[in-house]
Structure 1
Amino acid sequence: MTTLLHLDASARRHSSSREAGDAVAAAWRASHPGGVAARKTGASL
Structure 2
Amino acid sequence: MGLFSWREVAMTPGAVVAPDERLPWPQTAAMGVQHVIAMFGATVLA
Question: Where on the TM-score scale, by shorter chain, does this alignment land: which range?
Answer: 0.3 to 0.5
Q: TM-score, normalization: structure 1? A: 0.43
Which structure exhibits the higher relative contact order, with contacts defined as CA atoms closer than 8 Å and separated by 6 or more residues?
A: 1
Q: Going by fraction, where is strand more abundant, 1 or 2?
A: 1
The higher radius of gyration belongs to 2
